[in-house]
Structure 1
Amino acid sequence: MPMLGGRGLWLCLAAAAVAVAVMATRLMGWWSPRADFRLFIPEELARYRGRPGDPGLYLALLGRIYDVSSGRKHYGPGAHYSGFAGRDASRAFVTGDYSAAGLVDDVSDLSPSEMLTLQNWLSFYEKNYEFIGRVIGRFYGEDGLPTPELTQVDAMITKGLEANKQELKEKQKFPPCNVEWSSARGSRFWCSQQSGGVIRDWIGVPRKLFKPGAKEPHCVCVRTTGPPSDQTPDNPTHRNRGDLDHPNLGEYTGCPPLAITCSFPL
């Protein structure tokens, strides 16, 4: 099994950067002008709820309309997600609020990570349902072009993708510990070459990682030999302690400094 250390780490980060670029390109394609779509006002879209006599079963997400007739068991009248039919209820895709107040298209206060959830849903509909057109309103103007609000959504999605890339980079540097708790033995933290789902060629030792804004530290595995991960090329000297001297790390009281397992009985 290949280990994700050294060259493997940089290959992984490079792949993440490519993924960000690819997704940004895809988003630009989704928003760009097209000749093969219809424009709907909200009142017209409301007629497409799959009821007897309705012309179809459509829903909208971030202003993009999809024919979900093949998913009638999910979106048709009386189905669990029937509230999405005939409208743009983008907000509810994240919040899970299916009330009248929640089935709306206002996503202005969502976080970048929540915007990524919407992007994932958009990918799902692009893949599984037919794109029909766009809703005139919050996300598209009467000319069918993106509004400033949709441009802001795009920027937030890109920000979320960049944050994910940074999180991956940090997780490679400080993989989460393995954690075990029982009412009989208490807590145990330990490191391995696959802890936290990160495969690597080193094991490391448990440390508390303090992150700005976080209420509590969390356990990470820290490399104990070689140069620090953030060493610059113009400073080749190091103490052969890996990342142990990182200022945001703290030792666990009662655990030997270089032990790969820390146990805390009740």
Structure 2
Amino acid sequence: MSLSNPLNAALVPAILFVAYRILFPSKPTAPAVPCTRYDQGEYNWAPTKHPKVAVYKDYDVHELTKSDGRGTNNILLAIARIVDGEITERTVFDVSSGANFYGPEGMYGNFAGRDASRGMAKQSFDEDMLTDLDKPLDNLKDLTAAEIDNMHGWHDHFSNKYKVVGRLV
């Protein structure tokens, strides 16, 4: 190989750099985060505060209403599934990422922190679609087959779009 050729002369430094990196790779460094735990052993850093995560759990109506987007960033709502005329579950979804729709100012805002089953089944945003908090959960017995199918469609939509965080009991 002749260095008198300009192309060869230009490639020599690049080849030497690549060879150096192969022979002496740089070691990745951990981010500069204050240590709180795990400073012994394999882990040498941990964040000072872990992010808040939703935990799957059972909710009652009063606990669910605390997650209506007012005073908290969490927005939850529940939708039921009915099989053979019986409610099999009331799934609680975290719809916080859809705050424009389900937040206090959103068009579905009245469903936030509540059981939205009847309203979703009937495609109605009226306040009378919501069960009074001091009454038993709506048994949804008067829904038609088409309304139940509509509610299941919403349940499936929410299952594919939002996190399931629990069930309403």
TM-score by length of 2: 0.55
Q: Is the 8 A contact 2:77 2:112 kept in 1?
A: yes
What pairs with 1:94-109 in structure 2 (closer than 5 Å)? 94-104=121-131, 105-109=138-142
Equivalent in the alignment of 2:144: 111
Select which of 24, 36, 61 maps to 1:42: 61
For the pair 1:124 / 2:157, whether they are aligned, the reply is yes
**What's the counterpart of residue 114 of structure 2?**
87
Does the aligned pair in 2 maintain the 1:97–1:103 contact within 8 Å?
no
Partners of 1:59 and 1:101 in 2: CA distance:
16
Partners of 1:96 and 1:112 in 2: CA distance: 14
- Structure showing greater relative contact order (alpha-carbon pairs closer than 8 Å, 6 or more residues apart): 2
1:58 CA displacement: 0.5
User: How far apart, CA to CA, are the structure 2 residues paired with 1:49 and 1:85?
Assistant: 5
| Residue 92 of structure 2: aligned partner | 65
One-letter amino acid of the structure 2 residue matched with residue 68 of structure 1: V
Q: Alpha-carbon deviation of 1:112?
A: 1.5
How far residue 100 of structure 1 moved from its aligned partner, in angstroms, is 2.6
**CA distance in structure 2 between the partners assigned to 1:44 and 1:55 by the alignment:** 15
Listed one character per residue, the Cα deviations across residues 26-66 of structure 1 (whole Å, up to 9, x for unaligned) are xxxxxxxxxx72001110000001113x2611010011100
What stretches of structure 1 of length at least 5 have no aligned partner?
Answer: 1-35, 137-266
d(CA) in 1 for partners of 2:60, 2:148: 24
Aligned 8 A contact 1:94 1:114 in 2: yes
Partner deviation per Cα, 1:138-171 (whole Å, 9 max, x = no partner): xxxxxxxxxxxxxxxxxxxxxxxxxxxxxxxxxx
2:167 equivalent in structure 1? 134
Question: Could you tell me whether the CA contact under 8 Å between 2:94 and 2:163 is conserved in 1?
Answer: yes
Give me the TM-score of the superposition, normalised by structure 1.
Answer: 0.36
Larger radius of gyration: 2
Identical-residue share of aligned pairs (%): 32
Could you give the per-residue CA deviations for residues 112-158 of structure 1, whole angstroms, max 9, x where no partner exists? 2221111111110110000000111xxxxxxxxxxxxxxxxxxxxxx
Number of residue pairs the alignment of both structures matches:
100
- Deviation at residue 107 of structure 1 after TM alignment: 1.8
1:181-230 Cα deviation digits (max 9, x unpaired): xxxxxxxxxxxxxxxxxxxxxxxxxxxxxxxxxxxxxxxxxxxxxxxxxx
Question: For the Cα contact (< 8 Å) 2:73–2:96, is it kept in 1?
Answer: no
The answer on whether the counterparts of 1:91 and 1:106 sit within 8 Å (CA) in structure 2 is no
Separation in structure 1 between the aligned mates of residue 167 and residue 74 of structure 2, nearest angstrom: 15
| Aligned mates of 1:134, 1:66 — CA distance in 2 | 8
Separation in 2, partners of 1:131, 1:47: 17
The structural deviation recorded for 1:78 is 1.2
Question: What CA RMSD, in Å, does the superposition of the two structures yield over aligned residues?
Answer: 1.6
Give the letter for the 2:76 counterpart: Y
Residue 106 of structure 2 aligns to a residue whose secondary structure is: coil
Amino acid at match of 1:61: I
